[in-house]
Amino acid sequence: MIFLDTHVVVWLYLDPANLLPALVQEKIQEEPVAISPAVALELEFLREIKRLTVRPDVLLRYLQRQIELEILDAGFARIVQAAQSLRWTRDPFDRLIVGHALAFGQGLITKDRQIRRNIRGAFWKS
């Protein structure tokens, strides 16, 4: 299983063929994919500040049907514990999303260079 960062979820919804590199698309097709509930919260935040027009529940239901996206909602205390050690970022969404992947020993697909510099299991191939 591999986790997806928020921007990857948005790009999968909008136009994956043009917004995601071929190797990233392949990885998403090859492995089960999941998100932290923090992604859903960040999607709502992006909608509230007008950077996203679609409702998060609509976007996520679509991806659940299209790519069998799973929303993993277990182990919040474990996630927060993992996120507390991530002092290289002040972004609470990044901390929770990365913390969730780390708490479950999984990788994370993200274009975010800061995350990729600091987390071994972060993946992006152009």
Side chain identity at residue 75, one-letter code:
G
Averaged pLDDT, 18-31: 96
Cβ proximity of 124 and 111 under 8 Å: yes
CATH number 3.40.50.1010 is the correct assignment for the domain at 2-123: yes
Domain boundaries, the chain: 2-123
What confidence tens digit (pLDDT) does each residue in 60-74 have? 999 999 999 999 988
DSSP string, 19-74: HS-HHHHHHHHHS-EEE-HHHHHHHHHHHHTTS--S-HHHHHHHHHHHH--EE---
What confidence tens digit (pLDDT) does each residue in 71-118 have? 998 889 999 999 999 999 999 999 999 999 999 999 999 999 999 999
pTM of the shown model: 0.95
Which residue from 52, 67, 54 is spatially nearest to 20, judged by alpha carbons?
67
* Percent of the chain surpassing pLDDT 70: 100
Share the mean pLDDT of the chain: 96
Q: How many other C-beta atoms are found inside a 10 Å radius of the C-beta of residue 99?
A: 22
